[in-house]
Amino acid sequence: MESPHLVLMAVLGTLAIIHLVQAQDQQATYGISRISWQGDPCVPQPFMWDGLNCRNTDVSTPPRITYLNLSSSGLTGTIAAGIQNLTQLEILDLSNNNLTGELPEFLSNMKSLVFINISWNDLNGSVPQLFGGKDLRNPRLCASVSCLPPKTKPFPVATVASVASALAIIIAVLALIFIFRKKKPDVGVANVTYADSHVSSSVLSIQTNKRRFTYSEVINMTNNFQRVVGKGGFGVVYHGTLNGYEQVAVKVLSQSSTQGYKQFRAEVDLLMRVHHANLVNLVGYCSEGDHLALIYEFVPNGDLRQHLSGKGGKSIIKNKLYHTTRTYSFFHFPTGLEYLHSGCIPPMIHRDVKTTNILLDEQFKAKLANFGLSRSFPVGGESHVSTKVAGTPGYLDPEYYRTSRLTEKSDVYSFGIVLLEMITNEPVIDQARAKTHITQ
């Protein structure tokens, strides 16, 4: 079971998601996996996390957290330093917990903070002088002038000897751990090698807090790759079960696919640093010799194209669920795409928005998947990226196809084609009518 204090630290790391690099570092340190804390804490607004409020002062920047309530949460240990990353925080409530230690000085340096409630904790020591204008509501703390210095007691020689012996034991244990870790790759950093002479870079470095699985664990969770749920240029996707009950989708990279390796690399680069309720969540990965795999949450209701066409036994066109599914997809899917364009640093362009890449969960909420063709967008004021044209015929932006100049508008065009599919229930390219496009 997670320590409540570690949970607090993980929350603070995730709440700083507007600074994605900082969030990745903190999440990698403390690790958090809670269903109720998925996605961006502030957007979309209907899915804002409980216990916080956000404010958006400028449409060009992500919303900032102004109110954080973690009272009565069973928190222990010292007050987390990650709070100072919330630069626009105005109200902080940490009351009715078991926090210990002294009140940190960094809280008094947070210029926007106007109210702090830390009552009913085990904090001790003096209140920093700079807290004059802030309501502490904690009778267990004392003003600087009224706190008496602790009395020093003689330190017995026997105690020194005991501490020295314990320290020697700890050093020996740490030495053994260090030797063991030198023989075994770090769980947090995977140096992935891929034996393919056509790949320009044969080393893929993955730094992530996601769980690392062995290849034997991948075999076990997929029941020896028994059930295939999808195929693509990267390889095959299998259904799996984790911990005996959690369903996952396991994307295994084909060793014969050069394009698959490139998509694998792009998907890893993106999913290691983004997290949103309307993007398919990455659970973990496998990198063992030539075996590369990504493990995702399993999205059970298939993709949007299956539901629109009725293929795979997922026909909902003729029943009352059709309009519900279409509405859910319309309102949920765009928030994930907008997050890639505006919430990521640097911004991302998906490049392959289509109905087969929009998956539906148990409540038919849409999640964007398959980021193998995604590209980072420049943050220095440039209006486009010049790149080799990639995407799916029918969804491909004509201007991007003609000029090779990629912008976020290319995703917007593809999104418009998806909307036409949802509204008309017609295929993008009708093979029965001389390959007529849906816009014609």
For the question of residue 352 being annotated catalytic, the response is yes
* Strand, coil or helix: 321: helix
* Strand, coil or helix: 69: strand
Q: Where are the alpha helices (DSSP H) in 103-245?
A: 157-183, 215-221
Q: Binding residue per annotation — 251?
A: yes
Strand ordering across the sheet containing 122-124: 76-77, 98-102, 122-124
Sequence-ordered list of residues with C-beta below 8 angstroms from that of 340, at least 6 positions apart, any chain: 274, 279, 347, 348, 349, 350, 368, 374, 411
Q: Are 138 and 118 in contact (CB under 8 A)?
A: yes
Question: Which one-letter DSSP state was computed for residue 145?
Answer: G
Record the tokens describing residue 335, joined without a space: 């928030």
Catalytic residue among 352, 361, 397, 411: 352
Sequence-ordered list of residues with C-beta below 8 angstroms from that of 197, at least 6 positions apart, any chain: none
CB atoms within 10 A of CB 1: 4
In this structure, the strands spanning 246-253 and 291-297 are: antiparallel
Give the type of residue at 378.
P
Give the C-alpha distances (Å, rounded to integers) separating 156 from 153, 159, 160, 163.
Answer: 9, 5, 7, 11
Q: Binding site residues for ATP, as ranges? A: 251
Active site residues: 352
